[in-house]
Amino acid sequence: MRLSIEQIISQFSQQLMVNSDTAKLDVELLLARSLGKDRTYLYTWSDKPVTEKEESTFKALFARRLKGEPVAYILEQQAFWDLELKTAEHTLIPRADTETLIEWVLELADALPECAKVIDLGTGTGAIALSLAHEFPLWEVQGVDVIPQAVELAQHNAILNQLERVLFFQSSWFDQVEGRFDLIVSNPPYIDPDDEHLAQGDVRFEPKSALVADNKGLADLELIAEHSRDYLVEGGWLLMEHGYDQQSAVQQLLITLGYQHVATRIDLGGNPRITGGQFYKGAV
């Protein structure tokens, strides 16, 4: 007797529970991919037996998840904001926490020019740049990354989401960037090299270049905040993601550098996650 969809989900979720907080969802996503269907299909056809071929495809994916590999890398796909993005081992997996940044930009948008010029530093999959371009069809959006494969991936994601007008190019932070921007956004690496979380869960599989920064994780946040002053228009905004325990350090950094209206937003998990401010050259 072949197992039904429902039986596979219950049996394999049990097994994965020790390794994943989202065991049932993980199994559903891997099974849906193995069947070439979406998750709704699993509920509609829960009694349907799974063929031998489908089961062996599923088991191969499941074995990778059991060893800890993130679902987003196994499926090479991750949802972010309203977009589906291709993921790859060279870059960070987009996270729901980062959507807090997009929400803040939505609030700021009325005060920005109609054709605002925006840049996303360390764009990775292109998640932030593409979401902003999707929300604001008139904005001129750029994204840079130091890793060439990330730039290629972001360009690929632009095509997948019909957002080819976003300009992605290789640059170490501002090195190859020209002009001034109404808004600079970034989710840079900000984890302390000694942080024990690096040895746990999904982050073990993500590239250190996207996660870790010197000086207790603050080195890249400092560099971006310092140089952004030369790339913002008068009164332009800088918004940066940071670690749950870096709010006061990042706020202090921005204030010291002369930013005004410095504030922080809390993510869905209740952690301070995005800090930003506005820069007026004339005011310093």
Tell me which of 95, 130, 253, 264 binds ligand GLN, using CB under 6 A: 95
**Does 188 carry a binding-site annotation?**
yes
Look-up of token digits 């987003």: 72
Helices (H) and strands (E) in the chain, counts: 10, 9
Q: Which segment (75-83, 91-99, 226-234, 247-255) binds ligand GLN by CB under 6 A? A: 91-99
Question: Which residues 14-43 are close enough to bind ligand GLN by CB under 6 A?
Answer: none
Let me know: does 28 contact 16? Beta carbons within 8 Å.
no
Residues binding ligand GLN: number (CB under 6 A): 10
**Does 161 carry a binding-site annotation?**
no
Nearer to ligand GLN, 5 or 85 (CB): 85
Look-up of token digits 């969802």: 25
Give me the helix-helix angle, 52-66 and 5-16, nearest 10°.
20
Nearer to ligand GLN, 191 or 224 (CB): 191
Token reading at 189:
């690496």
211 binds ligand GLN (CB under 6 A): yes
Strand partners, 263: 276
Residues in contact with ligand GLN, shown as a per-residue x/- string from 235 to 264 under the rule CB under 6 A? ------x-----------------------
d(CA 105, CA 112): 10
Residues in contact with ligand GLN, shown as a per-residue x/- string from 97 to 116 under the rule CB under 6 A? x-------------------
Q: What is the DSSP string of 151-214?
A: HHHHHHHHHHTT-TTSEEEE-STTTT--S-EEEEEE----B-TT-GGGGSGGGGGS-GGGTB-T
**Does 189 carry a binding-site annotation?**
yes
Token reading at 146:
């130091």
Q: How far is the CB of 152 from ligand GLN (least distance, A)?
A: 20
Question: Which residues 154-193 are close enough to bind ligand GLN by CB under 6 A?
Answer: 187, 189-191
Residues annotated in a binding site for S-adenosyl-L-methionine: 122-126, 145, 173, 187
List contacts with ligand GLN (CB under 6 A).
92, 95, 97, 187, 189-191, 203, 211, 241
